[in-house]
Structure 1
């Protein structure tokens, strides 16, 4: 039984699509289909059945999932064991873009200080790429958005809620129960990226049947934050990028919880059931980050 056939099976299970599984594996659709068919012949049972234009797991296919996971896990553990003694052990950390920018530079030196014997490899990538790499055992632990997958374990680690912030002295500072109409009168620095559901921000104005006064629309967090800091407008920004500025008073949060609650977290994510070697160190670094905010405060 070829391990690549079992991996193809698990990718199709995850994506519920041969086409998407093929893209993630960098293979053609016919190749993935052939691997599934070969696996079915070896197991003497159908793992998937056609339903409309898609495919669904059969009962036998669903029963096979835990065994497929165990085979892949055992294979990876065997590879790792054989490498021991030849090279320094390598730990691979992945993170989405915002965590890469604001948390990883704080945490990596702490992890290295406590584990001089390890070599650290860091990968910054979008959420879907991180999921693929976790499933392929190319990453030990990833920091990413919430992802529903039976093979992945997640724990909320970092608060990354979206907050409305302004420069100190702004007309909205210290105002309570701000209305959507009042917000629409103020210039807005609008930052948008794939990591957040910004349609919910638009909903504030949609419900009130008004248009926000967007003066700047930017695709870079630091640019957006800088514009808010210089008084060019208010901005809805994720907490990780403004955490320090809120502590020092360089930015002020405007309470709009009565209009919008965009609670989001960054999750520590790993392949079940093995807890990553660094997990306790990761939890400790999160605590220190929440207390200190940046390396300069240590």
Structure 2
């Protein structure tokens, strides 16, 4: 029985998609499908069934999960032990500033719990600095913005789209179809980071030939968020930093998709030919799902 086939099975289980599993493993979808088919042949059992455009686990597939997980875990623990000759192997994880502040403190304890024989070193840096550290092999994997480099591979993870948010009770809270002119009349806080996405925000006012009322211009996300929470202004902020407040109801998102859409994600990036543990990769994907579920379950406060 090939360990690669079992890992392909677990990726499909956790991502509920052959296509997403192929992306996560940096393989073609036919390769993943072939590995699953071979595994099913060896087990003499059907593990997945088609349901419309999706897939579902069979009962035998569900029963195989704990055994597959244990096989993979034991294999990689043994591999790490033989590689280092000691109990602890070190992995260096990097993240840009926003991921470091809002996701990493949640995720690191989970990764350590699932990988007790792994020592974690963490580095927080800018996206440019992280790319350099990856290429120089100073960082094994990094959470950062999307980049294009022939020496690096990346995988889309956390949603960090730019959203317009207001405080509860603001006149825009229940409004739809806001105009640029209406938006320009409100006191705004602009978080300046020099990224092209923020230039898009400026552009919606330039195109309509209106001057926005920018009462505050700051370079720190928490300062910008606090100003909105204090009811001093409204503003465009990245989703990762306001997710908790949106779920709690202390901030409210206003739909301005008819004016502007700024989709952006945090990507998990590593060297094309770097050494990267599929087991840790799986744990990272699971931690992201737990992080999202955690915030979804926060109680919504009434206004």
**Please, what TM-score do these two structures have when normalized by structure 1?**
0.69
Separation in 2, partners of 1:196, 1:295: 33
**1:194 positional shift:** 3.9
Gaps of at least 5 residues in structure 1 are 1-79
8 Å CA contact 2:190–2:224 kept in 1: the answer is yes
Aligned to 1:118: 118
Q: Would the aligned equivalents of 1:93 and 1:142 in 2 still touch at CA under 8 Å?
A: yes
2:90 corresponds to 1:90: yes
Q: Deviations over 1:65-121 (max 9, x none)?
A: xxxxxxxxxxxxxxx999712572101000000000001011001001111111110
Matched, 1:284 2:276: no
| Deviation beyond 4 Å, 4+ runs, structure 1 | 80-83, 294-297
Distance 1:193 1:209 in 2: 23
CA spacing shift, 1:176–1:140, aligned 2, 3 Å: same
Is 1:164 the equivalent of 2:164?
Answer: yes
What is the CA–CA distance in structure 2 between the aligned matches of 1:179 and 1:273, rounded to whole Å? 49
Contact 1:168 1:249 in 2 (8 A): yes
SS in 2 for 1:169: coil
SS class of match (2:94): strand
Alignment of 1:1-298 (within 5 A): 84-85=84-85, 88-194=88-194, 197-274=197-274, 276-277=276-277, 278-293=280-295
Tell me how far 1:275 sits from its aligned partner: 6.5
1:137-188 CA-partner distances (Å, limit 9, x unpaired)? 1111100010111121111100000000000100111111100000011000
2:245 is paired with a residue whose SS is helix
1:190 and 1:268 map into 2 onto residues whose CA distance is 27
Change (3 A) 1:128 1:227: same
Call closer, same or farther: CA 1:82–1:114 in 2, change over 3 Å.
closer
Contact 1:96 1:125 (8 Å CA) reproduced: yes
Query: What's the TM-score, normalizing by structure 2?
Result: 0.68
Note the C-alpha offset of 1:227: 0.7
Cα distance in structure 1, aligned partners of 2:260 and 2:92: 37
Per-residue CA distance 1:266-298 (angstroms, 9 max, x = gap): 00001114572110011010111111139999x
Q: 1-side partners of 2:274 and 2:136: how far apart? A: 14
Asked if the contact 2:159–2:240 (Cα under 8 Å) also holds between the matched residues in 1, the reply is yes
CA contact (8 A) 2:177 2:256 kept: yes
Question: Aligned-pair distance for 1:197?
Answer: 2.4
Q: Distance in 2 between matches of 1:282 and 1:178?
A: 39
- Structure 2 counterpart SS, 1:211: coil
Change (3 A) 1:84 1:288: same
Q: Given that residues 106 and 294 in structure 1 are in contact (C-alpha distance below 8 angstroms), is that contact kept between their aligned partners in structure 2?
A: no
Contact 1:88 1:117 in 2 (8 A): yes
Separation in 1 of the partners of 2:262 and 2:240?
14
